[in-house]
Structure 1
Amino acid sequence: MEQDDPLRLSSSFGAAAAAYAEHRPDYAHAAVRWALEPAPGLRVLDLGAGTGKLTAALVALGADVIAVEPDPAMLTELRRTLPAVRALAGGAEAIPLPDASVDAVLAGNAMHWFDMSVAGPEIARVLTPGGILAGLWNVIDDRVEWTAGLEQVSGSAAIGPRDTLSSWRTATADMHLPKSGVARFGSPEQAEFPHGQRRTADSLVATLATRAGMLVMPEQEQQATLSQIRAFLADRPETSDGEFTLPMLTGVLRARRL
């Protein structure tokens, strides 16, 4: 499924904006704090903000946040849930902000959709000197036996190469940031922070159904995959009865604008 058209995948979320807002996890606050730690100030752009999962964490930590999101349905959901946040239509390749206007640019489960050959210089343009670019990804802790089994049953459409601890570092290490010319970034740093999401079997299935690979899957194949996942969860003692915690981490990749 990762071989599918990236534009088709990245534009698939709008049709499921309400489900995305309901079922996708937030971000570990320790991870957000670490992402912002070297930033020269607290003016933050949440780029590819979606329905505002990361935006809400930034607001809670006292940042002065601007959210930018290209999908109209996702942007509508963000404005509904966070009406006090300035939220603009736009994308990573054409950011609707002036030069040197923010101290940090953060992206929650979004940076892998950016065309970094264009977005890298554009992000550098809106950052102050010494500003921080950070991507955050919520990943499943596949060191836990049952989540490793879940990954096998779900397939790459539901749990892709950036969705587990064992794979996200490799998948995100080289985001093709510009290392020459005017818009340069320093060497990236990576770290992971413990996180978790309270789920039931039904709500975990609903969460996995919001993955891009699942959203573009033919309905019959999608339903068959979700049925396999339901059967697996019903058969595991950890997930078969009531609520449980999905073991996760929030992984962060950060780099400083030189």
Structure 2
Amino acid sequence: MSLFTGTASYYRQFRPGIPEDVAECLGQAAPSRTGGRRRLLDVGTGTGLVAEALLGRFDDIIAIDNDADMLVAAESVLRSKLPESTRLLLVESTAEDFVPPVEWKADLVTICRAFHWLDQAAVLVLLEDQVAPDGVVAIFGDSSFWTATSPWKEAVRDVIKSFLGEERRAGSGTFQHHNRPYSEIMEESPFGQVEEARIPVHRTWTAEDILGYLSSTSFAAPHLFGDRLPEFETAVKERLTDFSEDDTFPEENEFLIRFGRRSRR
């Protein structure tokens, strides 16, 4: 069972998308192709937020995820927005099991908000044969509600803990923390030449947005609460009233992008 079983509709509606500044940074990092097709491999695509943001910058896109419901949601959105000359292939697969078409090599691999779920070193080794010689691997994401430090987010996290326990949930189990910086892991991989970019982002949430976002996560998915879900939602709304009189909750966040390239010889 996927860690995100039952969350696809919430994920598509309430997960923040990829800002234009982030999409521009990703697009510029990948090599250009004069007269050739520019290829994108999006790993852990979910409902296709990254692929959607990069439409028009790549004309041959493969997006993979191991959750069939997520891919259905991605298909419903991406297909209608696809430029006429762009090819899109959605594949139900884990990153560890994915095999691209013969001779297909990515110019850019994107792994957004998903690297912590992967066998990280193994996936980077597998990508050695899936990425063009001058291609780039981009591992990136912003802070989730669980790790953020703003007062209202901390309050929401406390409510979650009061219902589900102190340890961060991950579906039916608990989240296994990775203590090593991603840059170190990348530096030991075939893509050991690593550069970082940081792009700030400002958002404003409502209580409905926050509850929808939580329903899209592995640590607060609706099924985890069982018949206590209405009680949990009421508790979150009541706690949030301590931080806003007009149902607006500002967030200052940041996308950290790590670009990995093969070391120059």
TM normalised by structure 2 equals: 0.75
Pick the aligned partner of 2:237 from 225, 230, 241: 230
Instruction: Name the structure 2 match of 1:27.
Output: 18
Worse-matched range after superposition: 45-54 or 214-223: 214-223
Unpaired stretches in structure 2, ≥5 consecutive residues: 33-37, 83-87, 170-176
Worse-matched range after superposition: 137-146 or 210-219: 137-146
Matched, 1:52 2:61: no
Pick the aligned partner of 1:108 from 104, 109, 112: 112
CA distance in 1, matches of 2:232, 2:259: 34
**Match of 1:228, as an amino acid?**
A
Figure out how many residues of one structure are paired with residues of the other and give that number.
237
CA distance in 1, matches of 2:181, 2:229: 27
Matched, 1:146 2:152: yes
Which structure shows the higher helix fraction? Answer: 1
Unpaired stretches in structure 1, ≥5 consecutive residues: 1-7, 162-167
Matched, 1:195 2:201: yes
Instruction: Name the structure 2 match of 1:69.
Output: 65
Cα RMSD for the two superposed structures: 3.3
The structure having more radius of gyration, on CA atoms, is 2
* 3-state SS, counterpart of residue 14 of structure 1: coil
CA distance in 2, matches of 1:173, 1:120: 11
Identity of aligned residues (%): 22
**Match of 2:9, as an amino acid?**
A
TM normalised by structure 1 equals: 0.76
CA distance in 2, matches of 1:31, 1:155: 32
Task: Output one character per residue of 1:80-99: Cα deviation in whole Å (capped at 9) or x when no partner.
Answer: 11113332222211223145
Aligned-residue offset at 1:223: 5.2
CA distance in 2, matches of 1:134, 1:221: 39
CA distance in 2, matches of 1:93, 1:29: 29
Query: Are the aligned partners of 1:27 and 1:195 in contact in 2 as well (CA < 8 Å)?
Result: no
Distance 1:211 1:253, change over 3 A: same
